A and B are shown apart, each in its own frame.
Chain A
Amino acid sequence: MFLALKEFAHSKMRFFMITIIFVLTAWLVFILSGLGNGLSTLAASTFQNMDADYVIFEQGSQSSMSKSLLSNQLAVKAEQLPNVTATSPMGISMTTARKGESNRNEDKVDIAIIGINPGSFLEPRFVAGHGLSPDKPDGVIVNETLQDKGFQLGDTFQLDGSMESLTIVGFVENQTYNHVASVFTSLSEWRKIAFAAPGSDKGIPDPVNAIMLQGKDIRPSDIDANLPGTDTVTRGAATQGLPGYKEENGSIIMMLAFLLTISAFVLGVFFYVITMQKTHQFGIMKAIGATNGFLGRVILSQVFVLSLSSIVVGILLTYGTAAVMPKEMPFKLSVDLVIVYSVILLVIALLSSLISVRRITKIDPLQALGRVE
């Protein structure tokens, strides 16, 4: 550490430039992961925050709500099965909310109508107003982002292409589905909206899209065997089955993977070049009696200090960027994610410097004598 810090102090410019490269890399990694996280939250937060363990879909629906349709009568049977502690049906349709009769662009907002049983474990906790109540079937609790679009508590809004109107009785937070705000209503109200066209329920009694299950030790195969025509998956798998979710996440993860791989090479080359420049010095130190371990520690501690400070600056810059980003930008940086990517970056930097350490072990102290004979 002694030599590492002394050298920083003496060659400020050189290390400052490498730090800049590293800071930019870290910054980009954090921004990208924040955007990815924000996007996947926007796509699936209702599913991610749901207090369910397993989901029963219709067979052949590829774990997708929009492709699945089954009867709620199955829920009663499912509840009898081993390890199932509770069941609750759910239906989702995408639609558009319209404030009043206006035709202005800003008065139409895409929403996801989510039908649930009021008071069931699927109902999220409200942060304003009150929860769903069986007494008020057209009452809805909506994600608080709708407030930014001008929807207030007690407002009544129309649905585009439907005669139904809904009244906001409460707000919830972190509830989005398929990139739009979730609007929770009772199952009966949802059915009116989803199956407005005659025959669209395929004649299934009490139709729902899926049945959510609670129970830690549920074996999906048991459920499938007992309920013909169903397909049971974990909540995680159901999240993956959301339209576009996998693809979106896949692109972001791909970008991050490339970014991290490229930064490993870039940093590795930088450290290597710096080490090469100091071959002679390392030779002298070896001649005086420095071991490979001593010199290796010099390099590693240098890379460690450099990486750590770059990552910290990168984190600060990221939070700064997040503060000035437009509100609609789906950017969500969790502390967990920051820690994970910081550790990954640190490990990558240290690994990439190992090539330089290897180089040191090959330096011949005889070079230090500066003679060729």
Chain B
Amino acid sequence: MSKGLQIQNVTKYYGEGMNRLTALDRVSIEVEPGEFAAVVGPSGSGKSTFLSIAGALLQASEGEVRVNGKSISKLSARELSAVRLRDIGFIMQSSNLIPYLNVMDQLIVVKKMGGKVSAADKTHAHRLLDDLGLGSKLKSFPEKLSGGEKQRVAIARALIHNPSVILADEPTASLDTQRAYEVVNLIAQEVKTRRKAAIMVTHDERMLEHCDKVYHLEDGKLSLVR
């Protein structure tokens, strides 16, 4: 059984009977540790649903999702949140940091969700932030950070639990071209050095050069582009 993320023949319906809408139609994708895949597609193509199912936020109607070798298709809501906490790192569209926590605490709170926080955890968080170039911003609140810095904090937050899968949802949406490049480059770098299976959902074609594989999603159908 291989690690990383495997999605096999996943279909997702919304609604019932005549109103049934197929958001994803037998989607399969496999991402190995250390591989950075991109999913592009127009709006309405099912990107959100795809990301939600890959990120254990939503259960598939049919098919199987494996995270780090474990099937998550039959898990309860409680078990799913444990999977999200341990095995999946989310980097969201607009970084979505907690406004009343400073940079260091943004990471500590994720550790708290899993239980007690040790001194080693703090050192780990500190080193992670240093690696991402935020060493001088540990005590800053999100409102004092630039868009790029916020996104870097979000990357650090996604990595803090050392998950096997990284999901990035339009991580460059609110950034200018140069910052966007930096952020995607950083994600790619982290994915390689830390051996994560990563998927980036984006519509920004300029960002694809950092990715190993590019998939196209349209009308719920996923196809490999390159």
Contact = CB atoms under 8 A, between A and B. Distances in A.
A36 to B, nearest CB: 41
Contact of B113 (A281, A291, A366, A371): A291
A10 B58 contact: no
B98 interface: yes
Secondary structure type dominating chain A contacts: helix
B103 to A, nearest CB: 13
Interface residues of B, number: 39
Contacts of A11: 100
A369 B169 contact: yes
Interface residues of A, number: 24
A373 B90 CA distance: 19
Residue among B47, B84, B98 having the largest count of chain A Cβ atoms under 10 Å: B98
B75 interface: no
B99 interface: yes
Which residue of A366, A370, A371 has the most chain B CB atoms within 10 A of its CB atom?
A371
Given A369-B52, A371-B48, A287 B100 contact: no
A342 B119 CA distance: 38
Interface string B168-195: 0100000000000000000000000000
B75 to A, nearest CB: 13
B108 interface: yes
B92 A287 contact: yes
B86 interface: yes
B145 interface: no
A261 B118 CA distance: 43
Contact of A7 (B83, B100, B113, B157): B100
Interface in B76-96: 78, 81-86, 88, 90, 92-94, 96
Given A291-B81, A373-B44, A284 B86 contact: no
Contacts of B83: 289
Contacts of A197: none
B57 A288 contact: no
A50 B54 CA distance: 76
A284 B98 contact: yes
B93 A371 contact: yes
Contacts of B114: 289
B139 interface: no
Contacts of B166: none
Interface of B: 43-44, 46-49, 51-52, 55, 57-58, 78, 81-86, 88, 90, 92-94, 96, 98-101, 105, 108-110, 112-114, 141, 157, 161, 169
6 contacts: A285-B113, A287-B57, A287-B92, A366-B58, A369-B51, A369-B92
